[in-house]
Amino acid sequence: MKKLFLLCAAALASWSAAADEGMWMLPYLQKMNIKTMKSLGCKLSAEDIYSVNNSSLKDAVVIFGGGCTGEIVSPEGLLFTNHHCGFGSIQALSSVEHDYLKNGFWAMSNAEELPAPGLQVRFIRKIADVTPDVVGNVPSTASQQEYETISNENIKALTARLEEENPGMEVIVKPFFGGNQFFAFVMEVYTDVRLVGAPPQSVGKFGGNTDNWMWPRHTCDFSIFRVYAGPDNRPADYSPENRPYKAEKYLKVSLDGYDEGDFAMIMGFPGSTQRYMTSYEIDDMLRVSNPNRIFIRGERQDILWKDMMASDRVRIQYASKYAQSSNYWKNSIGMSRGIEKLGVKARKEAQEADFRAWAAEKTLPEEGYADALTAIEESMKALSPLDHDRQWLSEAFLRAVEIIRPATGVLKGSEVKAEIDAAKLETAYRDFYKDFNVETDRKVAKRMLQIARERMKEQPSFYAEVVDKQFGGDTDAYVDHIYDNSAFASQEKALALLADYSAEKVAADPVMTLARSVIEQYYALSGARRPHAAKFAEGHRKYIAGLMLRNPKKAWASDANFTIRLTYGRVLPYDPADGIRYNYYTTLKGVIEKEDPKNPAEFTVPAKLKELYAARDFGRYANARGELPTCFLADCDITGGNSGSPVMNARGELIGLAFDGNWEAMSGDVAFEPELQRTIAVDVRYVLFIVDKFAGAGWLLKELQID
């Protein structure tokens, strides 16, 4: 293992970075990236971007919630992120009487800012390469089980030590390059976060699912929050006495815009890429996982959408759930399309053939490189059928049939708990039932149980034991029995069950048979896949190490894993097909042109926005041509998790917020496409125009440092 560590260290020292591809680690910018960045026009030093001892741009970029990025834009803790990142909090604060999704929300003073329950913001305070601490004592001949046992024990001890050295901080240790390298991140977690402003959904989600992942785009995808702190400026639970977080570092805002070819960089928390995915995994993605996800989610989404369009109450309840589901649903459609159209599998096969030939000729058998791809191939053959059914259990039952969720709260494994924390469960249940519509969920359950029976290889036991024996195979009748008789079908009955808790009574509830059957099978499949997953992990780790050893001067970047990264490139158009060129920016004119009365849920333009456009009342937010820019493109390398990330110019000033990728390069998480792949960002001038001219919340702009 020491050999692999030295390989990583040597490679990092010698790499010369490519301009476009790469989600780069901040501690290595000086060695790896800054020279190329300067050649593209960057005016900053590596120390300006990331400093160990001084404040830097890194300190203004945060993890927002559980899966997005945000940036601090004022000394008073004001935070920008995407509308779709704040969507869950906006939805949670909405009601039929206060419909902030439909109408937007704007605080006109600090006193009007709304606490967002459960929302957290994380600042990265320290980053350290801890590879020697984690795998330095792992023998080079260790099996995968030995490797995992030793490294996990080391991570546990290291985490405990870092937590002791950094009291009050959160510590995570993450693997990179398939487990060949490790970094520790020390984070400060702020839990008092308040909603400051959000445009109406017709602006912040303009284009809806139709425009999602598409260019040209005209969505003003932003929302504004504020981080609050205790009297010592440290994290504190919500209190009216808390004060806005005093930010030592925040981003300046530029109204200068950009021209084609200008330098652009993005800092954020990309969630997950699979750039080292093999052809065997691509086969599984195209044949199993993506088709399953596309079909199951599509069926559920059709039901949700119809109910949402028929009722404001249901629309608010399911808005965030629908958005989260449909985003990855469409991503999966685009991913499969891109991989097939762009010949990604053939490129992977060519790389694998080269690797096999090199490993056979240049490496020793005991090093494991020659067997790495065979291990991946064999493990994928074993995992694929197991994961097919496991995915169905997850997608069609545990995610889709919501009545199962409160039932799992009283389970330990697949057994009903003898004792519960009733107060904790009561809080969780009240949150759950606020956004639960029993008749919508009944419709979903009927469809899910029907299609799962048709398509699963090994079905959960409740089908044979209950549906067939008691209901003659009629899944609809079984579902009606559950929803008509289960205490978990309503908040009132579920809370009453907690108040007079009895394990025997809970076990007899009709939903418990369904829940326990699904969970039992899920656990059984998880256990069956464990040895094959270990074999895959070892092959994956050694394959990546071998690739790096095979080409030590190549600019290898680790896959995204929701840790802070920097990517950079240029503002550029692209050619999606022969004879077609897409401009690198859009304007408010396109918003007006896209209005579609036949599709009001996605393409409504508010009257106030039309008035401002007609009057050409763009103020200082217009570009040199007198247009109001809305969105723009850059060839930066991002993925999910980067949503809300700041797009910065050569001076590190905010020019936009990243919110999407483009349809033609949806395979980019597996293989970067430099000619096609683009980040789609909302122009900060459009954001400020909406805040100032449209919403009349110009008081917020006084906090910003605008150049």
What's the sign of the alpha-carbon dihedral 286, 287, 289, 294? positive
**Residues whose CB falls within 8 Å of the CB of residue 636, separated by 6 or more in sequence, listed in order:** 20, 264, 265, 266, 567, 568, 569, 647, 658, 679
98 vs 90, 249, 313, 495, 504, CA distance in Å?
Answer: 11, 35, 11, 26, 42
Active-site residue identified among 643, 660, 667, 669: 643
In three-state secondary structure terms, 182 is: strand
Alpha helices in 393-421 (DSSP H): 404-408
Q: How far apart are CA 176 and CA 182, in angstroms?
A: 6
**Residues whose CB falls within 8 Å of the CB of residue 34, separated by 6 or more in sequence, listed in order:** 42, 45, 46
Q: Which helix (H) or strand (E) holds 47?
A: helix 46-49
Burial of residue 109, with CB atoms counted within 10 A of its CB: 0-12 exposed, 13-18 middle, 19 or more buried: exposed
Looking at residue 559, what DSSP letter applies? Answer: P
In three-state secondary structure terms, 196 is: strand
In three-state secondary structure terms, 536 is: helix
Q: In what order do the strands lie in the sheet with 585-587?
A: 565-570, 263-268, 646-648, 654-661, 679-683, 629-634, 585-587
Contact 131, 347 (CB under 8 A): no
68 vs 85, 250, 526, CA distance in Å?
Answer: 6, 18, 28
312 vs 40, 87, 161, 317, 439, CA distance in Å?
Answer: 50, 16, 51, 9, 15
Long-range contacts of 698-705 (CB under 8 A, 24+ apart): 699/108, 699/109, 700/78, 700/196, 700/197, 700/224, 703/73, 703/74, 703/75, 703/76, 703/78, 704/73, 704/74, 704/78, 704/252, 704/253, 705/74, 705/250, 705/252, 705/253
Long-range contacts of 441-446 (CB under 8 A, 24+ apart): 441/401, 441/402, 441/403, 441/483, 442/479, 442/480, 442/483, 443/303, 443/307, 444/300, 444/303, 444/304, 444/400, 444/401, 444/402, 445/400, 445/401, 445/403, 445/479, 445/482, 445/483, 446/475, 446/476, 446/479
Burial of residue 251, with CB atoms counted within 10 A of its CB: 0-12 exposed, 13-18 middle, 19 or more buried: buried
Burial of residue 502, with CB atoms counted within 10 A of its CB: 0-12 exposed, 13-18 middle, 19 or more buried: exposed
**Residues whose CB falls within 8 Å of the CB of residue 246, separated by 6 or more in sequence, listed in order:** 75, 76, 77, 229, 233
Q: How far apart are CA 180 and CA 176, in angstroms?
A: 6
Note if 388 is an active site residue. no
Contact 379, 373 (CB under 8 A): no
Note if 84 is an active site residue. yes
In terms of residues, how long is the chain?
707
Active-site residue identified among 192, 211, 221, 683: 221
Q: Give how far the C-alpha of residue 456 lies from the chain's centroid of Cα atoms, to the nearest Å.
A: 28
Full 3-state SS string of 248-279? CCCCCECCCCCCCCCEEEEEECCCCCCCCCCH
CA atoms within 13 A on the CB side of 79: 38
Q: How far apart are CA 388 and CA 394, in angstroms?
A: 10
> Which residues are known catalytic residues?
84, 221, 643
